[in-house]
Every structure is written in structure tokens, then in C-alpha cells.
A and B are shown apart, each in its own frame.
Chain A
């Protein structure tokens, strides 16, 4: 199912549209939310809020604004960061940087996820540590290039191309 097919279902008010939307993106958004909140129950509650927000505002989306996934990724990230701030964490971005998605895999050791987690950990460990940090900040946490450059102490002009190289690495590992 592509973005275009999903949007066609939504515009036709197809009864299956919600199920399609959920199947396509729920787990990815949950990954993004959990990477920020680090609490499963809280993340599940927020995922629900995010889907309600998406559904409520779906008429305001159009393809000129960007990819549909990008649109819902922004909603999920912003809601997660707001949630984190509301929990009286000052200076949220610094707190956000203290951990990244690799550490999630270390914490995520329930029996059902263990084997999967080991498999994923293997392929992510093939990424350079610098790439893990860069993707974590830019994709998972929505840092600007400026913020990422300050956080990782790399020149601002190189953030964009370094990120490009890291995503290429990821695509090679995933064969995308």
C-alpha cells in the first residue's frame, strides 16, 4: 500500500482507511514516541492521542506540505516532546540527547522481543556510532541542523551531507 492509495481510501471515506493507516504507520510512530518518552505505557497513551490528532486534522493535510509520513512523524514527535516538557523536564533538548534508539534495544528485553532485538541490534551496530547519534537527533528527535551541529560538535555545513551518508549506510544494510 502506498501513500497515494491510503489517501484515496481516506478521501473516499472508506471504512478500511483507519485500519490501513494503523497497519502502515502505528508501529513506526510508536518507535519514535518511545525513543523520546522511554516508557511503554506512557507511549501507548500518547500513540492514542497522536492517532486522534491525525484523524481529527486529516483534512488539513495536502501533498504540497510534504510526505504524509513526514506530516504524521511531525505530529508524533511534537506531541512526545510536549509530553516530556510537561513532565517538568527543563531544557528538553538536552535531556533528549542523553539516550538514543540503540539504548532502547538494550532496555527492550522482554521474551517476545528478545530475538528480534538481537537481530536488529546486529544490523544497527553496523552503523557508525556517529551515524547512530546523527540519525537519532535529526530523524527521531527532530533537531535542526544547527542544534545537531552544536550537540555533536561538527561543522554546520557538513550535517546535511554526513546525514546523507549515514542514511545511505542504513539503506545498504536494509537493502532499500
Chain B
């Protein structure tokens, strides 16, 4: 084959310009593989037109490179253009979000813990207050039960003490057990003792008149109104006087509130 004549025909220029048919292209390609002169000529023609088109091109800013590269990464990633590890940002955000949620949760739990501790403290304070109230209430109940037992006891003799000159409206009752000689006094009908004063209960023998103290009532309201007195055998009368705190050895007759005969 006359390669020089083939080159001179101008077919190789049309080959580089892309103006040949598919069949003609195949033919030139095969000839180029067989003849290095043809292959070299093709490269030179190509170099000439690449240079020409390069030379007449307006300035192409580097922004275009980035723009096209991004476009390829976004839409037509074939694996050739490496993907940027964009997920890292998302992972980072999730990490921070988790940390914030954790801190908020921790803070909330700490707040709840403090609240709970405070409540426990309040409840235990209330509880001890209720315990005190309950103890007091039980004590009252016992006192009332005892009073009731005294009132119900059929062995008792009831002695009414009438109001005297010092307190005409006042009254009291004495319960005296015939069998065991116990003596109870109900002072519900007495007025409140003034500050610094107490009621003193006396058992009396009438002939000759001999008063014997059988007890002092210094806290009438707190402990109910029925009080157990000291045992006394064979009283003939009972009297209650108002005395200074601590009681007196002998009754102050001017302050005799109530008096009653057995």
C-alpha cells in the first residue's frame, strides 16, 4: 500500500474532523494500527486542530472546572469522580444533638432528684408531726377511756360538789369507789384557773373538821377533765379550792369553789 498517497488524499483530516462514515472510520483505524506513518500523521493533524480551537477559545475561568466537576459528582457519579464524604457533617450534627439531649436529660433528672429529696424531707417532717399528733390523740383517748370507765363503774358513788361563794356557777363531781377506795374528780364545771394558780382537791372529815389534800390539778385543759386523786378512806365531804401553784398545806377558805357532802 502506498501510505504517502493515502496520507496525501486528505482522508485523515476528515477522519480527525469526524466527517467519515462508521465503515471508513474502521478502515482508517485498522490502517493506523498497521502503519506508524498513518498513526503519526493522525496525531499531528489532531494536534493542529486542538491548538487552533484552543487558540480561538475565549478565556475560560477556573470556576467552570469546579462547576462541571460538582455537576458530575451530583448527577452522574460513575465512581470515577470521588465523592466528597458529605455525611460527616450529618454525623457530627447528630453527635452534638445527642450530647445536648443527654445534657438536658441529665439536668432534668438532677432537678427531679432534688425535688424528690425535698419532698421526702417535707413528708418526713409532716410524718413526725402526725406521729406527735397521733401520740397525743392516743393519750387523750386513754384518758377518755379511763374517764368513761370511771363513770360506768357501778361500784362508784357520785358526789356532787356545788358552787360556793367564790364561784357560785362552778360545779364538780367526785367518783368514789367503795371497793378499792379509788377517787376520781371531774372538774369540767370549774372555770379556767388563772395564771399562777391551781385547783387543789381536799377530802374532809367533819367532826372535827379536818381537810386532807388528795391532789392538785394544774393542767386541767390539756389532760381532760377527769383526774385520779390519792386514795382516802372514809371521807365525809370533798372541797376544791384555788391555790397558788404547787398547792397549799391548808385550804384557803376564801377561795373555796365547790363543796359537797358524801
Residues in chain A within 8 A of chain B (CB atoms): 10, 13-15, 17-19, 22, 25-32, 34-35, 40, 43-44, 47-48, 51-52, 55-56, 58, 63-67, 69-71, 73-74, 77, 101, 104-105, 108, 110, 112-113, 116, 120, 124, 135, 138-140, 142, 144-145, 160-161, 163-164, 167, 170-171, 174, 176
Contacts and interface: CB of A to CB of B under 8 A. Distances in A.
B68 A67 contact: no
Contacts of A66: 15, 18, 20, 25, 28-29
Interface stretch (B44-52, B135-143, B232-240): B44-52
Nearest to B78: A55
Contact of A120 (B22, B56, B59): B56
Contact of B59 (A110, A140, A163): A110
18 contacts: A13-B80, A27-B54, A27-B57, A31-B52, A34-B57, A48-B67, A58-B78, A64-B26, A66-B15, A66-B20, A66-B28, A70-B46, A105-B56, A110-B58, A163-B10, A170-B49, A174-B51, A176-B48
A133 B81 CA distance: 39
Contact of A48 (B25, B26, B54, B64): B64
B78 A26 contact: no
A64 B245 CA distance: 133
B15 A51 contact: no
A100 B16 CA distance: 20
A29 B79 CA distance: 24
Given A104-B58, A138-B13, A174-B48, 5 more contacts: A31-B55, A52-B75, A120-B56, A144-B19, A163-B13
B16 A138 contact: no
A143 to B, nearest CB: 8
A128 B75 CA distance: 45
A40 B53 contact: no
Given A15-B82, A163-B13, A47 B64 contact: yes
B50 to A, nearest CB: 5
Interface residues of B, number: 49
Nearest to A12: B80
A67 B13 contact: no
Contacts of A139: 17, 49, 52-53
Given A15-B80, A27-B57, A65-B22, A44 B14 contact: no
A105 to B, nearest CB: 6
B120 to A, nearest CB: 65
B11 interface: yes
B4 interface: no
Contacts of B71: 48, 51-52
A65 B44 contact: no
B222 interface: no
A101 B76 contact: no
A29 to B, nearest CB: 7
A56 B81 CA distance: 12
Contacts of A160: 9-11, 13-14
B9 A70 contact: no
A150 to B, nearest CB: 15
